[in-house]
Structure 1
């Protein structure tokens, strides 16, 4: 069994975001892999205005990148997707026989044709900075810790800003073409202290999942409650 981690929006270096949980899993003999998301600039493409807005990578490129990782081996796999990562995985995991379970962390289970823009409470997120000129959006650095990392170790809080990324706004409105969670067993992890995705919205999204687990944690439980996330993954 292996685990594939898919990070959320506006960050890069997935191996850093998942490192605390990945290390605990490795101690139990479970190896993991992370996938880069091209829309977050992780493929080395330029982030200037023309490149991002006109020909820059979006959801289809993210799907292709994650799908390639899933197809790297036929070893039975648990996919752990965080936040926006659930949008990507919904399509990327479709028809991949090695994927045995989807774990969605403060995330989404979109129907075919739905996009990221259809989730939320209808208002603009105050912690995001959208730049129409460059066609990108990102987390406001001054709100990063209080919104997303308030329950994390100070060391992780200090390092997290170095792993933020501007992301193409294309991903907000592009619809998914498949809904793997309809055919693959799924578990939704509700983060009850999340200040980024309100818990009441998570519980609404979680209704589509096969199972629901609730954890007293913020938006990144794989950093703040790594042992609990490890145990949940192992139980799957």
Structure 2
């Protein structure tokens, strides 16, 4: 009896293993942060996605220039053998729009409070297309670079209200201290041909965003023909920090869509 039980148990385990191996692997989610942030801004989203079985890479976006940043992310995508859901926040939306080109493993784009430019548009131009952005006066004096360019930061004492108003003050203070600068040139660099023209897209943003006017994001979500555009009431620019569950769920919808 014991031998029969062992044999049946072993056979059952083989069947379960065979069934599991036959299941399609979940796509890898590549998260691209924007200006004045870093990869840790995705921590809450990463925890949810990994719990749900998704491989995740929170990429380090150089924030030096649209084309060079897109090349960096594109190289990362090329190293991933499985399908990819590419997610961008803020300026990172500009980057993913170019990085996904010529990468057939990218199955979906997700814009999180992000820019989704048309060819020739700039981040600065899109931010000013509609009224409402209050970013300019909160920027610290530009930091001169050796190549003649300039790095931009948000003044730390203005960071909470401007960038992350719906995040607890202690966490916003940490984000302010660890923010990574973006070059002035990157915000004024013209976009190339956007991948959203041929890759299915999703969009999520907050209606209290002070960096990118919500009206501008509604315009961009409609233009990319987003399969789903979700507006989070009361959310700031860092909706992935204050509402990681909503952002993760939208990413998972993109990952499972046909």
TM-score grouping bracket, smaller chain normalisation:
0.7 to 0.9
Choose which of 195, 202, 223 in structure 2 pairs with 1:208: 223
- Give 1:4 deviation, angstroms: 0.5
The match for 2:208 is 193
Q: CA deviation digits over 1:54-75, x for unaligned, max 9?
A: xxx4222211111111111131
Give yes or no for contact 1:20–1:226 (8 Å, CA) kept in 2: yes
Give yes or no for contact 2:77–2:103 (8 Å, CA) kept in 1: yes
Over the residues paired in the alignment, what is the CA RMSD in angstroms? 1.9
Q: CA deviation digits over 1:69-124, x for unaligned, max 9?
A: 11111311111100100111111111211111111111122122222232122687
The match for 2:53 is 29
Give yes or no for contact 1:35–1:65 (8 Å, CA) kept in 2: no
In structure 2, C-alpha distance between the alignment counterparts of 1:98 and 1:133, rounded to whole Å = 39
Give yes or no for contact 1:74–1:97 (8 Å, CA) kept in 2: no
The match for 2:28 is 2
Normalising by structure 1, report the TM-score: 0.85
Any gaps of 5 or more consecutive residues in structure 1? 40-56
Q: Which has the larger radius of gyration?
A: 2
Q: Secondary structure at the match of 2:57?
A: strand
Ranges of 4+ aligned residues in structure 1 off by more than 3 Å: none
Give yes or no for contact 1:105–1:191 (8 Å, CA) kept in 2: no
**How many residues of Structure 1 are paired with residues of Structure 2 in the alignment?**
217
Deviation larger for 73-82 or 21-30:
73-82
Q: CA deviation digits over 1:162-208, x for unaligned, max 9?
A: 32122221202222222101000011213112122221222122221
In structure 2, C-alpha distance between the alignment counterparts of 1:36 and 1:193, rounded to whole Å = 26
Bigger share in helix: 2
Any gaps of 5 or more consecutive residues in structure 2? 1-26
Query: Are positions 1:11 and 2:37 aligned together?
Result: yes
Query: Are positions 1:126 and 2:137 aligned together?
Result: yes
Equivalent positions of 1:212-231 (< 5 A) are 212-216=229-233, 217-231=235-249
